[in-house]
Amino acid sequence: MIARSPLNAEPLNWSDELSRAYTSPVELLRDLGLDPASAGFAPPAARLFHFRVPRPFVNRMQRCNPRDPLLLQVLPREGELVNVPGFGSDPVADDLAVRVPGLLQKYHGRALLILTGGCAVHCRYCFRREYPYQGAVGSDKLTAAIEVIAHDTSLAEVILSGGDPLTLRDAALAQLINRLAAIPHVRRLRVHTRLPVVLPSRVTSPLVAALTGTRLPAVMVVHVNHPHEIDRDVRAACLALRDAGVALLNQTVLLRGINDCAETLIALSEKMFEARILPYYLHQLDRVTGASHFEVDDVSARNLYTEMRRRLPGYLVPRFVREIAGAESKTPFL
């Protein structure tokens, strides 16, 4: 692999890199030296939720390993076709949280902007895999959403979400962040994104400038599930963000066959800290249709979390939570 820094004077153009993402599971499996049928690929599952994986993420997969923990996060498998009672299209009741199209609020003091349905990677367990993204805020509805934020003085924090908000252009993000910073009662900016992990070239100088160019302190919550997801490029991107003053947190989804092992989660916390990311949440899976094969039973989940607490300093232990529709916050699981 060619060594590169995402903050070089001439960075890799991230949108070109994104457009070269794999969109065919067969092609990805072939490049990994795997046979589609014996690797567990189920073509009908790919029709339920499109396949998409950027190449930098693929570069961290092991060749010839059908159980690779990164591959299993993105590969459409038979399990997605099974209908299991208790699993539905909106497991966390996002529909009840809509204040105006594209603006969700569930909890006191913070509201979440669904800026786009676009993501760089399609994670098969995504709780928004069934989300009706025609309800995303886009540019047309943005003014209405910002009006609501401006008129509600209880909103101290705005969360940019999606999809992945960093699929938007730097100029659009900078403009939005400036509009939010002009609202006196907004005190914090938060970004929920997977892009610095799956496509580290996305962390450009203009992006860092947009995130840190206003009076709002910024926190970025990334999404990493396995230590193999963090490589030198991810670390460099995270260090650039941190050095510019962006606080970095991580959320992880507990996933059967991928990270449901104390050793793996402990290694993940340690490796994240080397990239200056602190653990925030470990989520028990949201029960979205098509994701039942990722669910870890509660007893195993509690055991492995207990082991994490026993082995890690407190600041490297994420809060283990489950989202219960209608609750006033994420609910501690243990």
52 vs 262 by CB, closer to ligand SF4: 52
Site for ligand SF4 in 45-104 (CB under 6 A): none
Site for ligand PLP in 68-107 (CB under 6 A): 97, 104, 106-107
Q: How far is the CB of 154 from ligand SF4 (least distance, A)?
A: 26
92 vs 262 by CB, closer to ligand PLP: 92
Q: What is the x/- site pattern for ligand SF4, positions 181-200, by CB under 6 A?
A: -------------x------
- In whole angstroms, what is the distance from residue 253 CA to residue 286 CA? 9
Phi, psi dihedral angles at 248 (to 5 degrees): -120, 125
Tell me which of ligand SF4, ligand PLP, none is bound by residue 123, counting a contact when its beta carbon lies within the kind-specific cut-off of 5 to 8 angstroms. ligand SF4
Q: How far is the CB of 123 from ligand SF4 (least distance, A)?
A: 3
Is residue 126 a contact residue for ligand SF4 (CB under 6 A)? yes
Q: Could you tell me which of 258, 257, 123 has the C-alpha nearest to residue 195?
A: 123
Is residue 123 a contact residue for ligand SF4 (CB under 6 A)? yes
Q: How far is the CB of 116 from ligand PLP (least distance, A)?
A: 16
**Exposed e or buried b per residue across 68-98, where buried means at least 16 C-beta atoms within 10 angstroms of its C-beta:** bbbbbbbbbbebbeeeeeebeebbbebeebe
Phi, psi dihedral angles at 114 (to 5 degrees): -85, 95
Considering only 60, 122, 190, 202, the residue that binds ligand SF4 (CB under 6 A) is 122
Give the range of 123-131, 179-187, 213-221, 236-244 binding ligand SF4 by CB under 6 A. Answer: 123-131
- In whole angstroms, what is the distance from residue 160 CA to residue 192 CA? 6
Is residue 330 a contact residue for ligand PLP (CB under 6 A)? yes
Place of tokens 């786009």: 116
Q: What is the x/- site pattern for ligand PLP, positions 110-149, by CB under 6 A?
A: x-x-------------------------------------
94 vs 164 by CB, closer to ligand SF4: 164
8 vs 59 by CB, closer to ligand SF4: 59
Give Cα separations from 316 to 86, 222, 229, 275 (angstroms).
32, 15, 17, 13
> Taking the C-alpha atoms of 100, 177, 55 and 237 in order, what is their torsion angle to the nearest 10 degrees?
-140
Q: Could you tell me which of 161, 227, 232, 217 has the C-alpha nearest to residue 194?
A: 161
- In whole angstroms, what is the distance from residue 16 CA to residue 227 CA? 26
Site for ligand SF4 in 221-250 (CB under 6 A): 223
> Taking the C-alpha atoms of 64, 69, 72 and 74 in order, what is their torsion angle to the nearest 10 degrees?
-110
112 vs 121 by CB, closer to ligand PLP: 112
219 vs 312 by CB, closer to ligand SF4: 219
79 vs 318 by CB, closer to ligand PLP: 318
DSSP secondary structure code for residue 77 in this structure: B
Considering only 77, 106, 128, 202, the residue that binds ligand SF4 (CB under 6 A) is 128
Is residue 308 a contact residue for ligand SF4 (CB under 6 A)? no
Token reading at 12: 């890799």
Q: Could you tell me which of 132, 264, 265, 116 has the C-alpha nearest to residue 193?
A: 116
The DSSP string of 267-289 is: HHHHHHHHTT-EEEEEEPPP-BT
Chain residues binding ligand SF4 by CB under 6 A are 119, 121-123, 126, 128, 163-164, 194, 223
Chain residues binding ligand PLP by CB under 6 A are 97, 104, 106-107, 110, 112, 159, 329-330
